[in-house]
Structure 1
Amino acid sequence: MWTDPELGWNTSLYQYEQVILPVNKIWTPELHVTNGIKTMMIHSSPDLLVDNNGTVKHTVIINAEVDCEVNLFNYPFASDECPVAIQTWSLQECGTKLVFGILKMVDGSHGDWRTDNVELQKVREDRNYIMVALSIKYTNPFITLLLPSILIVLADVVSFALPLRGGERNSFKVTLVLSFTMFLIILNDQLPGDGKCSPIIRTHFCVCLVFLVLSMLVSMVLTRLSTDGSLLFWCCSKGSVSENMRKKDVEEDEEVKADISVTQLSGSEEDSQMLRKVVNFLEGLDAQSLEKKTNR
């Protein structure tokens, strides 16, 4: 609404108090968004309403992209205020003076952001600021970012119920670490960028990854303890291992020989000779097997 004295008329000569005129035939003031990257003002209708005292009523729509710094440290629970500076042309009290009435918030939700409140602040004489309070809808980021990481860490904690022997626990923990790493790679482009106030969610992901890796290493150490009972890692050559196996086989064969003895039965001499033959045959088989193991 603005006043143009040249558009007024005398109601005694022209009895109508209001007339409708085409907007392209009348001068209209231009509004600018000072901190806007791109601003476009369009007329909502091709006509406007003029009173007999020169008051003009018209509606315009301004679409503007505003450059605003938002603190994302608490992402996805971030909230901040964004100033929108609106002004008209004026120079040394000559030009158009913009006076705001009552602010009304029409659409308070768009995408992942929500407009909580709008407030008019006049900081300079030639410029009016509309402070827009913004906040992120934390539902979607919580479901897509925080909840999967919490569930993966919870699964890692519960995996200690798996048995140490067999390798099921270690393989499961390695799978969790790889899954979490792939999860971070996929979401790397969607996370807010680094800056002076880096989002704390990056620290959360880093702590979760370190916890998963440490849990995997602890599980491997416990598996080693349950299997060998020691954390000492010996590096033996192939020859020494084979030699130790040979000595062990020889000792076992000697123990078997020591257990074989001839017992004199209270029977005929033919039974005794038959028993000696059987014993000699078994000793010959043991000697052959021992010779084969030695020649390996």
Structure 2
Amino acid sequence: YFLGSCSPPAPGEAVMLNCSSPTTPALLEALAPVFKLSSIRPVSNISTPTRVKVEFIMFGILGVDEKSQLLTTFIWQSLVWNNEFVSWDPEQCGARRITIPRKYVWVPDIVINEFMEKNNAPPVPYVYLYSDGKVEDDEPVKVVSSCRLDIYMFPFDTQNCTFSFNSYKLLGEIFESAWEDDYRFNVSKKVMTTMGEWRLIGLSVKKFEFAISEADSYQELRFYVTVQRSPTMYVVNLLLPSCFLITVDLFSFLLPPQSVDRSLFKMTLILGYTMFLLIMNDLLPVTGNTIPLMNVFLSMCLVLMVGSLLETIVITNLLCGLAHQSPVPWILRVIILQFLGPLMLLPPKPKKKEDTVIENPATRGTICDSLSIDADRVMKTNKERF
């Protein structure tokens, strides 16, 4: 097929451009009639679907919003399709590829279903047009996409998000994936510049087709993005200090209650741990659909500290309060120690050893005699009392 540089092509007709000279101005002059067809899908037969190759490289993971369930990434999106209205001889026109403004060619309406905000990346106003009619549209895209985040295992969580590419106007088999999953993932890992606390661990693609009617079908290309949180900061700043404080609280039971105010020590621990949680509150995720195990762990640590304080209060009351109470009845002591004790596998109470007194004859008639008389008097009084 041949097209003169003066006559515009008809829709549905395959075109071979004729350049007057192997220069860029001559090629642009030959392309001028084709530019007028930018609003028409570039196919020779209107029933032929335009196949679009969709690919992207992930340059950075900018952040994850657990409360709003949003994943923010920066990708380089590539769309490739064929324009059947254009072809030329590279030797005759002097170029195999030319850069032209986007408004001069037909561009498919490929969108990401999970888009939640407008693309704020700098626009690229040009596309590549090749001698065989291939059109390549590359542009950066800041993707703020919806993603169902599961933070139950925070900070050891892994999130799976989906980028669904589709077209609102194009039907039939239109989507293709140009790269293998491993190649796409490896390239993204090499060029990724911003990850923060997240790292990319998986990037795959799968094509879906949905029947609209007997004649038409709807296609969707889904890219599955798997990211994993780096837990080091949370382990160092939250888990380890909490474990250390709980350990100190447990070992505080070794302090002698007679000489140390154990309850004051535990109240100081609780106050310090409460201030620690208030300071580190910004590190905890805002609760979304589920409550993270980390929040449950920190709450349980606080509950254990409060329970330990209550136990100390009870022990102190038992130690200090029994001194002002009447002695245990003799029959109750016998029942508990002699009968119930062996049933509970308690060891028997050891017998007291009687003290042996050796009298020194040289001390007779001295203060030792008076002490002995006083001791006999005390023993006699005790016998009369019982």
Confirm or deny a common fold (TM above 0.5). Answer: yes
Q: 1:5 aligns with which of 63, 70, 84?
A: 84
Is the CA contact 1:120–1:129 (under 8 Å) kept in the aligned structure 2?
yes
The aligned counterpart of 1:168 is: 261
**2:315 maps to 1:225:** no
Q: CA deviation at 1:186?
A: 3.8
**2:228 maps to 1:135:** yes
Any stretches of 5+ residues in structure 2 without a counterpart? Answer: 1-79, 210-217, 326-386
The aligned counterpart of 1:115 is: 200
CA–CA distance in 2 between the matches of 1:26 and 1:52?
Answer: 14
Any stretches of 5+ residues in structure 1 without a counterpart? Answer: 233-296
CA–CA distance in 1 between the matches of 2:299 and 2:95?
Answer: 74
Residue 98 of structure 1 aligns with an amino acid whose one-letter code is F
CA–CA distance in 1 between the matches of 2:91 and 2:309?
Answer: 94
Higher relative contact order (CA 8 A, sep 6+): 2
Percent of counterpart pairs with the same letter? 24
Residue 72 of structure 1 aligns with an amino acid whose one-letter code is I
Q: CA deviation at 1:87?
A: 2.0
TM-score normalised to structure 2 length: 0.53
The aligned counterpart of 1:97 is: 174
Q: CA deviation at 1:181?
A: 2.3
CA–CA distance in 2 between the matches of 1:226 and 1:200?
Answer: 39
Residue 139 of structure 2 aligns with an amino acid whose one-letter code is V
Q: 1:82 aligns with which of 135, 158, 161?
A: 161
The aligned counterpart of 1:210 is: 303
Residue 177 of structure 2 aligns with an amino acid whose one-letter code is F
Is the CA contact 2:150–2:289 (under 8 Å) kept in the aligned structure 1?
no
Is the CA contact 1:32–1:39 (under 8 Å) kept in the aligned structure 2?
no
Is the CA contact 1:108–1:114 (under 8 Å) kept in the aligned structure 2?
no
- Classify 1:47/1:12 alpha carbon distance in 2 versus 1 (closer, same or farther; 3 Å): same
Highest Rg: 1 or 2?
A: 1
Number of residue pairs aligned between Structure 1 and Structure 2? 230
CA–CA distance in 1 between the matches of 2:324 and 2:229?
Answer: 51
Is the CA contact 2:171–2:219 (under 8 Å) kept in the aligned structure 1?
no
The aligned counterpart of 2:98 is: 19
Residues 84-108 of structure 1 deviation map (CA, whole Å, 9 limit, x = unaligned): 1122343444xx9332211342428
CA–CA distance in 1 between the matches of 2:133 and 2:120?
Answer: 23
Is the CA contact 2:83–2:133 (under 8 Å) kept in the aligned structure 1?
yes
Three-state SS of the structure 2 residue aligned to 1:69 is coil
The CA RMSD over aligned residues, in Å, is 2.9
* Higher share in helix: 1
Is the CA contact 2:150–2:157 (under 8 Å) kept in the aligned structure 1?
yes
Three-state SS of the structure 2 residue aligned to 1:77 is coil
TM-score normalised to structure 1 length: 0.67
Three-state SS of the structure 1 residue aligned to 2:309 is helix
- Classify 1:191/1:25 alpha carbon distance in 2 versus 1 (closer, same or farther; 3 Å): same
Q: Which is further off, 142-151 or 4-13?
A: 4-13
